Amino acid sequence: MSYDSNRDRPAGKVSYMKMPTFHRHALYVLLVFPTALVPCSAQQEQLRLIEVDPGHSHLSGLHARMLPDVSDVVHIYSPLDAELMAHLAAIARSNGRATNPTHWSVQLFAGPDYLTELTREHPGGIVALSGRNALNIRYIEAALNGGQHVFADKPWIIDSEAFPRLEAALKVARRNHLVTLDWMSLRSDAAYRLVRDVVRQEAVFGVPVPGSIDQPSVRLENLHALLKYSNGLPQRRPVAFLDVRQQGEGMADVGTHLADIAHWTLFPGQEISYRKDIRVLRGTHSALKLTLDQLNRLTGESAWPPYLKDRVIDNKLTDYTNGSCLYTVKGVHVSMKVAWHFEAALGEQDSYFASYLGTRSLVELRSGPKEKFVPEIYLTPSVTEPPATWEANLKSLVDRLQKDYPNLASEKEGRSIHLILPKADRSDDGIQALFKEFVGFIRDGSTFPEFENSNLLAKYYVTTTAVALANSRQ
């Protein structure tokens, strides 16, 4: 079926397509919105965006703007459920907004055989995933075995039992020259990039201190809320979000960001082998206890679903959202802590903290209430470092960094130096920026760093091993 033949149809019209097979409980539709005419030759050169079982609002972020070099017809394969409807509604809102509307069209298969139908896709497309954490590895395997590239939200796996499957899947990708990338959005944040650039400067940071079990030299922490508000309205979550067997424990989920940013900052451009470079020393977890009233406020449900009842004690759900991990990477001790609480206060956002101890200075990124949840960077010289020399080296570094961070400034606060990023540098394209990089890797495979797959395995080895250790302590 030619997409171009549908471009002049009215917005929102549904076209039922004739397919080679018939499913009693499935729905094939093409949702068509008005678009600018694109020559067929250009359309054929564009990449296909394929989405499977959308279950998180992160995926709709891909549709906030049109994606260069990608067809405006997105192919969706999914069960027919509420999360799919929410995803389609988000795309429609982007298309219908008054300012800079998008012009996505949707080719949809919704039904129980959605993965079988996915296999009918011609190779060479991009499968994008976000939402079903426990199912991610199954979808990744199906995509790669079908010759599709994979651009997927974290986490790709949530337990150590799935780790061999992930390792095998990445071997398939490499063998078939397919690009795989997970959504490590912190890498596109200017503050985290600046920390990475500072840590690379021996005259200012020195080299990473190895640290110890009692005094790890790298610390990363984050705090999230289950119930958040947008424009004063609560943001509902699906009930499955509260099931660690579907969502994963906190360390397996958001802990992925922490492990990734630690490795990316400490060892830029270097391969990290989970076999040779990683030693997981300790993993712990603790539960957030949720009442039935909190379940109702968070999800809209008034009763515990059957699959959660074995986790309900004294009418409170035990949800292992909190976790910690202590490990070494290339001999450097790293401590990670993930925490969740139930409800965010008005204006509250996720909090992050990261610190890196070098032989010349301590580099900290703070993003909490005091910083109004905007990442701020502080450097404190070692007590053995001559202050005048160190400050002169830092001033020289700030001058050199102007090319990448225009108008970067610094101010002294006690013994520390606060690096100040201009407000303009605070904005980033998030997922869309990562997607643009991903498309570049597809167009020129030689630009894809070979170490990325090894490093992806390393961080998932850390998070899932920590979860396994935490559960072995029970």
The string of pLDDT tens digits covering residues 93-113 is 999 999 999 999 999 999 999
> What pLDDT score was predicted for residue 5?
31
Looking at the fold, whether 226 and 202 belong to one and the same domain comes out as: yes
Confidence of residue 426 (pLDDT cuts 50, 70, 90): low
Residue 2 binned pLDDT confidence (cut-offs 50, 70, 90): very low
pLDDT of residue 37: 37
Domain assignment present for 63: yes
DSSP letter string, 377-445 = EEEEE-TTS-HHHHHHHHHHHHHHGGGTSTT-EEEEETTEEEEE--GGGG---THHHHHHHHHHHHH-G
Specify whether 177 is located in the same domain as 194: no
Instruction: Identify the bridge partners of residue 223 per DSSP, sorted by sequence position.
Output: 339, 351
CATH number of the domain bearing residue 222:
3.30.360.10
For residues 377-399, give the mean pLDDT. Answer: 97
Q: 195 and 172 share a domain?
A: no
pLDDT of 350 higher than 90: yes
Residue 83 lies in a domain: yes
Do 245 and 369 belong together in one domain? Answer: yes
Using a pLDDT cut of 70, give the percent of the chain over it: 89
For residue 45, the model assigns a pLDDT of: 77
d(CA 418, CA 378): 5
Same domain, 137 and 221: no
> Is 65 within a domain?
yes
Last residue within a domain, chosen from 125, 148, 183: 183
* 171-203 as b/e: b if 16+ CB within 10 A: ebbeeeebbbbbbbbbbbbbbbbbbbbbbebee
Contact (CB, 8 A) for 439 and 70? yes
| pLDDT score of 16 | 33
Assign 3-state DSSP to the chain and report helix, strand, coil percentages, each to 5.
Answer: 40, 30, 35
Note whether 331 and 198 are same-domain residues. yes
Section 133-160 average pLDDT: 97
pLDDT at 288 over 50: yes
Query: Is 43 a domain residue?
Result: yes
| Residue 296 domain flag | yes
Whether 327 contacts 278, CB under 8 Å: yes
d(CA 447, CA 431): 19
Residue with tokens 């409807």: 85
Domain end: 152, 183, 214, which one? 183
Q: Assess contact for 194 and 310: CB atoms under 8 A.
A: no
| Cα–Cα distance measured from residue 465 to residue 158, given in angstroms and rounded to the nearest whole number | 10
Tens of pLDDT, residue by residue over 168-202, are 999 999 999 999 999 998 998 999 999 999 999 99
Taking 60 as the threshold, does the pLDDT of residue 87 lie above it? yes
Give me the mean pLDDT over the 21-31 stretch. 53
pLDDT averaged over every residue in the chain: 90
Work out the average pLDDT over 377-382. 98
The per-residue pLDDT for 474 is 66
| Distance (Å) of CA 419 to CA 168, 208, 407, 443 | 43, 20, 11, 37
Prediction pTM value: 0.90
The per-residue pLDDT for 17 is 35
Distance CA 136, CA 119 (A): 16
Amino acid at 378: Y
Query: How many domains, in total, are found in the chain?
Result: 2
Same-domain check for residues 212 and 360: yes
Q: Is residue 355 part of a domain?
A: yes
Would 139 be classed as within a structural domain? yes
Give me 447's structure tokens.
């630009």
Q: Are 243 and 366 spatial neighbours (Cβ–Cβ below 8 Å)?
A: no
- In DSSP terms, 365 is beta-bridged to 354, 377
In this structure, are 423 and 375 located in the same domain?
yes
Of 148-152, 221-225, 327-331, 347-351, the one with minimum mean pLDDT is: 347-351
- One domain for residues 164 and 256: no
pLDDT given at position 289 = 96
DSSP string of 156-189, one letter each residue = S-SSGGGHHHHHHHHHHHHHTT--EEE--GGGG-
User: Which of 183, 208, 240 lies at the terminal end of a domain, its last residue?
Assistant: 183
Contact 63, 91 (CB under 8 A): yes
Judged against a pLDDT cut of 70, whether residue 305 lies above it is answered with yes
Task: Kindly state whether residues 168 and 199 are assigned to the same domain.
Answer: no
pLDDT of residue 43: 45
**Within a domain: 444:** no
Domain residues for the domain of 152 are 4-183
| Same domain flag for 163 and 202 | no
Q: pLDDT > 90: what percent of the chain? A: 81
CATH of the domain at 44: 3.40.50.720
pLDDT band at 230 (very low <50, low <70, confident <90, very high): confident
Helices 451-472, 255-266: inter-axial angle, 10-degree rounding: 130
CB 364 within 8 A of CB 353: yes
Q: What count of other Cβ atoms lies within 10 Å of the Cβ of residue 45?
A: 10
Verify that 216 and 162 share a domain, yes or no.
no
